[in-house]
Chain A
Amino acid sequence: MSDCRSVTEQLTSYVDGQLDAGRRIELERHLESCVSCRRDAAYERGGHTVLRHHASRLRDEPLPPGLRARCESAVREQAGASLPGWRRTLVPTVLSVIILVFTASAIFSLATRRSDAVLAAQLTADHTKCFKLFAPADAPAMGAHDVEEMLAREYGWKIHVPPSSAGLQLIGARRCLYADGLIPHVMYRANGQDLSLFVLKGVTRNASDLVTFGHRSQIWTRNNTTYVLVGPADSSGLADATQYMIKEAQP
């Protein structure tokens, strides 16, 4: 086996100590006579040794605050132990819808102009998922200024966040998981109902109001920015909150 190509193919097994004795001796004989393969073997062993040596410290990445709690809450919800019967069946259904919508909508991009229904479906999926994962029922209210600062710091976004008002609580903001993660998603609660405001800068759309997957999406545009408010399909009790958002969303 003096063929460099076959030596190259076996270097990884060699460095990992997984070659049988016969092939190892043959390979080492080749290395003695071949500078180039010897260098490759030295490099490969070097990379392997450094990584193995530092492996435990490399694995040591502190979890971001809240990640464990959110995953634990996903586990609790999945277990369904504490849920009333109707929610036990609703949660898997909602999850299936989310996954279906996610799969179906992931091929679309908001950068291109798609129908309002697709936009609404994508954002409804994000709305449902983010509230499920990131917003416990007792989420505390947050200051609009703090949320604006967080969005600027974490994602470099400068947007105006409508503050809490009577009957409406600002509870946080996320990066929208879909649409390339390029859209700020601001989360509110109004009379116990979940409301999401999405801000699409540089996008212009005609105003629209439609119901998708049991949620109502209201779309409007001001100053070359499109806003989408997603909430419960029957938002008749949220008229004030909706009016407030439409008035307050743009700076």
Chain B
Amino acid sequence: MFGRRQRAAPDTFGSEVLRYLEPLYATAMRLTRNRADAEDLVQDTVVRALRFRDRFEPGTNLRAWLYTILHNTWRNRIRDTAREGTDVDSDRIEELAARAEGPVDVETPERVLLRSTMDAELREALDELPEAFRQAVWLRDVEEFSYAEIAAMLDVPIGTVMSRISRGRRQLYEKLSRTRNDAQVPASR
């Protein structure tokens, strides 16, 4: 991967990178949860991709490579600034997960879908997930990366990726069902 000096034609590589701006920005929005950070993150990602273009192996997946840069950049940034929400300590995630997973009545997926889940509501529920779960479910279910690709992006073992996807999906679904139940429960019960 390193030390490769072969260059793609400059305009081709650059315009290939620019093709992914929208998905990168959508991902950055869910990662950072605010527009200014997402904008900075995407811009940094593009600048780094151009800067380290020699490390990209032509013929491999450019989209996955860009997502890896995006997540590395974000990880470095939150580690360095020690900002809130950076805690990917697994004990804490387990604890959060355990707290969130009480036994509740759930609806069938079909019914949740039928009530035309608003995109805003879904984004909100996603944003409430612990960051590690949010990244994993987003990369899997929205961006459709493989477990191995996600493991490389997040720099964690595949088993961890799968358990985060699992937790993330379950918590998300529970939040959405709960929103629905809260709205429907009559005052006297």
Contact = CB atoms under 8 A, between A and B. Distances in A.
A46 B177 contact: yes
Nearest to B28: A61
A9 B162 CA distance: 8
A43 B29 contact: no
B142 A74 contact: no
Given A51-B141, A55-B141, A61-B25, A79 B169 contact: no
Interface string B34-69: 011101101110110011010000000000000000
Contact of B11 (A54, A79, A175): A79
Contacts of A54: 117, 119, 122
Interface of B: 10-11, 14-15, 17-18, 21-23, 25-26, 29-30, 35-37, 39-40, 42-44, 46-47, 50-51, 53, 76-77, 80-81, 83, 103, 106-109, 112-113, 117, 119, 122-123, 126, 137, 140-144, 159, 162-163, 165-166, 168-174, 176-177
Chain A interface mostly? helix
A71 B76 contact: no
20 contacts: A15-B169, A43-B170, A44-B169, A44-B173, A45-B169, A46-B112, A47-B170, A47-B172, A47-B173, A48-B141, A51-B172, A57-B119, A58-B142, A61-B26, A74-B47, A79-B10, A95-B51, A99-B51, A180-B83, A181-B36
Interface size, A (range): 35 or more
Nearest to A49: B109
For A42, A54, A180, which residue has the most chain B Cβ atoms within 10 angstroms? A54
Contacts of B76: 106
A93 B17 CA distance: 22
A63 interface: yes
Interface string A9-34: 10111011000000000000000000
B169 A75 contact: no
Interface in A193-250: none
Given A50-B117, A53-B113, A67 B106 contact: no
A78 B39 contact: no
A74 B46 contact: yes
B49 to A, nearest CB: 10
Contact of B10 (A70, A74, A78): A78
Interface of A: 8-9, 11-13, 15-16, 39-40, 42-55, 57-61, 63-64, 67-68, 70-72, 74-76, 78-81, 95, 99, 106-107, 109, 133, 154-155, 175, 177, 180-181
Contact of B106 (A42, A58, A64, A177): A42
B112 A50 contact: yes
Contacts of A154: 36
Given A9-B162, A50-B112, 14 more contacts: A13-B162, A40-B170, A43-B169, A46-B107, A47-B170, A58-B126, A63-B22, A67-B25, A67-B39, A68-B18, A68-B21, A71-B18, A107-B80, A181-B81
